[in-house]
């Protein structure tokens, strides 16, 4: 059974179409990155997944059941995009309040709260008022709140936007640890570098539908590029390289050659040397997630792998 199964999801706000036939699956125990430009429909999808709003058409299932069922919601932890805490409470009081809301008993809360505070690096800060927390500490508290009831699935809407680089690394390590314990993580973020470092699979959405989807490793290796620096670049070398793939950019004495397979590198090198060019550099490069994102959004052709 999938942790999340979304079929033909459509959501209208009045006449505004926010989701237009969104379909995707998230397997249990994976870290899934959900990406898209502003207004693409990410938060709307998350709100449907936690049962806060209802879809106009289509369905979203969590562990095979509707997120509007109480029993399913108990298995979900959620960090909303714009959370505002009751900041007159201390961190521990706030967690206790949220634990109470999701049906945890007093003893259970007392045992669990120090554990989650430690998990997010807020050890020793539980007695401070939330008002006195920095932005990053508040975000950590939000993640602690999402983990409180030991959920099987956590949905995080921009969980690291306020964190410094070390804090982001700590959250990445935490997400990996959770994944290794079998928790499914659904991560909504604009920080593509973060997504690239931690996610197993990603979906890129635009205008309410999936435009690209797949295992991150496969997306990143989908296209290969050789970056080549020579003693000179002229028409002859451009013509010779065109036999291997598309020459994308020429910058001084460096060019980028798109090749279907990085295994072409030795053949390219041999060809260049035979023609009398001196090679100063020849490096295979992978596409970054940012480049893939830019292409998927620009293309917007509904292609999905
Ligand atoms: N309550 C609402 N009423 C009307 N329109 C809404 C409402 N919520 C969202 N929208 C619209 O639906 C679309 C999708 O919004 P959503 O918040 O899901 O996008 P998002 O991908 O989370 O964007 P961001 O990256 O900016 O957070 C946008 O065009 C937005 O203006
Ligand atoms: Mg959003």
* 163 confidence band (pLDDT: 50, 70, 90): confident
What percentage of the chain reaches a pLDDT higher than 70?
97
What percentage of the chain reaches a pLDDT higher than 90?
69
Cα–Cα dist 182/281, whole Å: 44
- C-alpha neighbours within 13 Å on the C-beta side of residue 299: 15
Give me the CATH number covering residue 270.
3.30.70.980
Domain identity same for 121 and 201: yes
Indicate if the pLDDT at residue 305 is higher than 80: no
Indicate if the pLDDT at residue 221 is higher than 90: no
Task: Answer yes or no: is 293 within a domain.
Answer: no
Domain identity same for 40 and 169: yes
Higher pLDDT, 219 or 11: 11
Question: How confident is the model at residue 262, as a pLDDT?
Answer: 78
**Could you read off the pLDDT of 235-280 as tens digits, one per residue?**
999 999 999 999 987 888 999 998 888 788 999 999 999 999 999 9
Q: How far is the CA of 113 from the centre of ligand 2 (A)?
A: 28
Question: How confident is the model at residue 222, as a pLDDT?
Answer: 65
Domain identity same for 228 and 212: no
Task: Answer yes or no: is 43 within a domain.
Answer: yes
Domain identity same for 160 and 252: no
Domain identity same for 238 and 182: no
Which of 10, 11, 12, 13 to probe ligand 1 with, by most ligand atoms within 8 A of CB?
13
**Could you read off the pLDDT of 65-106 as tens digits, one per residue?**
999 898 998 899 999 888 888 899 999 999 999 999 888 999
Neighbouring residues of 259: CB distance < 8 A, sequence distance ≥ 6:
224, 225, 226, 244, 245, 265, 268
Domain identity same for 150 and 253: no
Cα–Cα dist 217/235, whole Å: 35
Q: Are 232 and 279 in contact (CB under 8 A)?
A: no
Task: Answer yes or no: is 89 within a domain.
Answer: yes
Return the H-helix or E-strand segment holding 125: none
Give me the CATH number covering residue 209.
3.40.50.300
Domain identity same for 129 and 231: no
Domain identity same for 44 and 164: yes
Question: How confident is the model at residue 284, as a pLDDT?
Answer: 83
Q: What are the pocket residues of ligand 1 if the criterion is a CB atom closer than 6 Å to any ligand atom?
A: 13, 16, 18, 36, 38-44
Position in ligand 1 atom list of the atom nearest CA 37: 25
Q: Are 264 and 226 in contact (CB under 8 A)?
A: yes
Neighbouring residues of the ion ligand 2, judged by CB less than 5 Å: 42-43, 81
Q: Are 160 and 139 in contact (CB under 8 A)?
A: yes
Q: How far is the CA of 45 from the centre of ligand 2 (A)?
A: 9
**Could you read off the pLDDT of 4-35 as tens digits, one per residue?**
999 999 999 999 999 999 999 999 999 999 99
Domain identity same for 185 and 207: yes
Report the nearest-CA residue for atom 3 of ligand 1.
13
Burial class (CB in 10 A: 0-12, 13-18, 19+), 304: middle
Task: Answer yes or no: is 299 within a domain.
Answer: no
Report the nearest-CA residue for atom 2 of ligand 1.
13
Domain identity same for 204 and 236: no
Q: Are 8 and 19 in contact (CB under 8 A)?
A: no
**Mean pLDDT of the region 188-197:** 89
Domain identity same for 184 and 52: yes
Cα–Cα dist 199/185, whole Å: 9
Question: How confident is the model at residue 304, as a pLDDT?
Answer: 40
The ligand minimizing its distance to the Cα of 45 is 1
* 299 confidence band (pLDDT: 50, 70, 90): low
Task: Answer yes or no: is 301 within a domain.
Answer: no
Task: Answer yes or no: is 106 within a domain.
Answer: yes
**Could you read off the pLDDT of 132-147 as tens digits, one per residue?**
998 888 889 999 999 9
Indicate if the pLDDT at residue 302 is higher than 60: no
Question: How confident is the model at residue 288, as a pLDDT?
Answer: 83
Report the nearest-CA residue for atom 27 of ligand 1.
38
pTM of the model: 0.82
Task: Answer yes or no: is 271 within a domain.
Answer: yes
Report the nearest-CA residue for atom 17 of ligand 1.
43
Structural domain count of the chain:
2
* 303 confidence band (pLDDT: 50, 70, 90): very low
Q: 257: domain range?
A: 223-286
Domain identity same for 231 and 94: no
Q: How far is the CA of 202 from the centre of ligand 2 (A)?
A: 16
Task: Answer yes or no: is 300 within a domain.
Answer: no
Q: Where are the alpha helices (DSSP H) in 148-288?
A: 165-180, 192-198, 216-221, 235-241, 265-274
């Amino acid at each position: 059974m999938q942790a999340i199964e979304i079929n033909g999801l459509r959501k209208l706000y009045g006449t505004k179409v926010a989701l237009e036939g969104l379909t995707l699956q998230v397997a249990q125990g994976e870290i899934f990155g959900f990406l898209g430009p502003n207004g693409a429909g990410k938060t709307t999808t998350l709100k449907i997944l936690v049962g806060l709003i209802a879809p106009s058409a289509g369905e979203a299932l969590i562990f095979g059941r509707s997120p509007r069922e109480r029993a399913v919601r108990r298995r979900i932890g959620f960090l909303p995009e714009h959370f505002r805490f009751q900041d007159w409470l201390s961190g521990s009081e706030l967690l206790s309040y949220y634990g109470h809301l999701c049906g945890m008993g007093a003893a259970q809360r007392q045992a669990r709260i120090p554990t989650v505070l430690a998990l997010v690096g807020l050890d020793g800060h539980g007695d401070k008022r939330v008002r006195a927390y920095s932005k990053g500490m508040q975000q950590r508290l939000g993640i602690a709140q999402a983990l409180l009831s030991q959920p099987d699935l956590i949905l995080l809407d921009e969980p690291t936007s306020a964190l410094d680089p070390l804090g982001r690394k700590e959250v990445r390590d935490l997400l990996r640890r959770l994944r290794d314990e079998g928790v499914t993580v659904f991560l909504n973020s604009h920080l593509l570098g973060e997504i690239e470092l931690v996610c197993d699979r990603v979906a890129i959405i635009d205008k309410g539908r999936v435009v690209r989807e797949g295992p991150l490793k496969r997306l990143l290796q989908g296209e290969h590029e050789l970056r080549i620096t020579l003693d000179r670049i002229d028409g002859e070398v451009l013509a010779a390289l065109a036999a291997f793939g598309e020459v994308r950019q020429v910058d001084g004495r460096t060019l980028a050659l798109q090749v279907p397979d990085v295994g072409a590198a030795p053949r390219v090198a041999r060809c260049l040397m035979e023609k009398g060019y001196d090679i100063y550099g020849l490096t295979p490069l992978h596409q970054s997630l940012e480049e893939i994102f830019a292409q998927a959004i620009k293309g917007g052709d509904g292609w999905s792998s």
